[in-house]
Every structure is written in C-alpha cells, then in structure tokens.
Structure 1
Amino acid sequence: MAELRLEELSAKTVVAANALSLKPGQEQFIAPVSYSAAAAVADPSTSWQRVVLDGDDVVGFIMGDFNPYAEHDEFKAILWRINVDADDQGRGIGTFAVKALAAEARDRGVGRLYVIWESGELGPEQFFLRTGFQPVGETQYGETIGALDL
C-alpha cells in the first residue's frame, strides 16, 4: 500500500469516487457519492468532502459538515458519509479518513464530532465503534447517533 493521502473532491475525482464498489449487502447503508456532491453545492461553505487516494487510485470518500449555526448539536460537526471500495476495506483507509475529519474538526475548534448510522448486520456500526464513536442517542427514525469526543 502506498502512502494514503486526501484530496478535495473535484471534477477529476468524482467519477472514480462514484465508482467505488460495495460489498454485498452494504448498498442499503450508503447513497452514491454524487448525492453528497450535489448536497455540497447547496451549501459549499459548510461541506468538507475528500477522496482518499492510495497512490493515484481513489480508494475512499468521506464527507463531513461543519455548521456552527445548526439547530441540533449533532449537525454542527458531523460525518455524513464514508465509503471505502469493497476491495480495499479492512486496510485502515476508513480509519485514516475519520482521523483526518477529526483533525479538521479540532482545527476548527470543535470538541465533538457526530455520526448517524442505521443498525444492521452488514452496517457500519462496528466500524464507527472501532474508530471511537460512542452511541449517545437515537434519531426519530431509530438510527443511532454516535459521538467522538475530540
């Protein structure tokens, strides 16, 4: 594995990010990267989108959002999406991306980063727990709200 690095999502990388594959059963837990890119156009001042590169290959995508004026605390600093290519899962790429988002949050003076996930056998819960998020609540739809104290 070459050294991992982050790059802003761009016209150059969005196609590769959209082509990231999923393991069977994971598709119910994640929307395409293009949905995140479209959401960021609505308010690019708060969105933080990066691709993870291994050499020249896009192997992951992460999107966070920083909105100090959000009505609910969990939306002030949140990990909205993370996707690691199926063939590259288990290599530390997701952890690398979460650490980068956490570092960005700390640089912005944020003390707590949130994430919301849906429970399920093939869902992301174990990954989020391994990266340090702890359940702190539930959404009105029964999803778990996790927090990572920085």
Structure 2
Amino acid sequence: MNQMSRMRLVEIGPDNVRAACRIAVAPEQEQFVAPVAFSLAEAYARPNVAWPRLVYDGDEVVGFVMGAFDPDSPVPMFRCGVWRLNIAADRQGRGYGRFAVDGVLAEARRRGNSRATVLWVPGEGGPEDFYLKLGFRPTGEELDGQVVGAIDLG
C-alpha cells in the first residue's frame, strides 16, 4: 500500500482529541502557528465556521488542519480558507501538509467555493514557501502582520 492511500482526514472527537492536543511542531515553528488545543477551542466557539480534522497515516496521528467556511463574513479573506496547519515535527517533509491542505481545498470546492485563502506570518523558517509551492499567491493584503494568500479553485 503506498503512503498516499494510507493518509486520511478524520473528524476530531472523544477518541482522538488527546492525540490532537499532543501534536507539536518544531520549536522554531511555534512562532508561526497556534497550538492545536488553541485551535480546537476556536473550533468549539465557532462550530458553524471551523472545519477541524486530524491527519492520519494509517492509525497514526501525524497532523492537524482546520479550514474555515463562513460565506457571510464581511471580510472576504475569512469566507473560505485554511485557518491552521500543524504537522508533527518528526513527520514534516513527507507530504502530510500538502495532503491536509488539499483536503481543505476539496471541501471548499464541494461547498461551491471558487477561491480559498490562507494567512501566514512572514519570516525565516515560516510557512510562506510551502504555501507558494501549493499555488497560493500573496494578494497584497496583510492582516495583523500576516500575509494574505489566495488560490483559485477553478
């Protein structure tokens, strides 16, 4: 069985929430992304917007991704996009991040969206190159010191 066929996105519930909270990015990446527990608190507070999922490789939890779908948001960059991505430090560079983002984008298309956004903190060791490789492009906008990137889903 190849690795891609072992990867899957799974809803978070009582059986896997502890595993979700144990996901830790590399120490030098902590300045760029909130801990999963913080993201889950946001998801709990906005259940009609947040789309949190764990990334599994077989039976192993290797990451976390959270999409956001709020078509009525007055802020265009918050209507559809990748809200968070945390891949475990020892699992990075194996395609899990790409798989997770592709999952959010597939859900966005399923919901009828034609554009998705992501925000990233610029800086050495940050996620900018990753998102650019996936096809996101800076829009020229910034929010709270974060670059706004967008991708067409057509």
TM-score, normalising length from structure 2?
0.92
- The answer to whether the Cα contact below 8 Å between 2:118 and 2:148 also exists between their aligned partners in 1 is yes
Shift of 1:7: 0.4
Q: Which residue of 2 aligns with 1:12?
A: 15
What residue is the counterpart of 2:111 in the other structure?
A: 108
Aligned runs of 1:1-150 on 2, under 5 Å? 1=3, 3-150=6-153
> Cα distance, 1:141 vs. partner?
2.8
Amino acid at match of 2:44: V
C-alpha displacement at 1:140, in angstroms?
4.3
Deviation of 1:27 (Å) = 0.7
Give the secondary-structure state (helix, strand or coil) at the position aligned to 2:55.
strand
- The one-character-per-residue Cα deviations of 1:65-118 (angstroms, maximum 9, x if unpaired) are 101110111100021100111111000000001111000000000000100000
Structure 1 unaligned residues grouped into runs of 5+: none
More deviation, 47-56/130-139: 130-139
Q: Is the 8 A contact 2:117 2:149 kept in 1?
A: yes
- Tell me the distance in 1 between the aligned counterparts of 2:62 and 2:109: 25
Q: Aligned pair in 2 of structure 1 residues 141, 22: CA closer, same or farther (>3 Å)?
A: same
RMSD over aligned Cα atoms: 1.2
Tell me the distance in 1 between the aligned counterparts of 2:25 and 2:144: 24
Q: Deviations over 1:35-87 (max 9, x none)?
A: 11111122211211100101111001000110111011110002110011111
State the percentage of identical aligned residues.
49
Aligned to 2:30, what secondary structure does the other structure show?
Answer: helix
TM-score for the superposition, normalised by structure 1: 0.95
Matched residue SS, 1:80: strand
Work out the number of aligned pairs and report it.
150
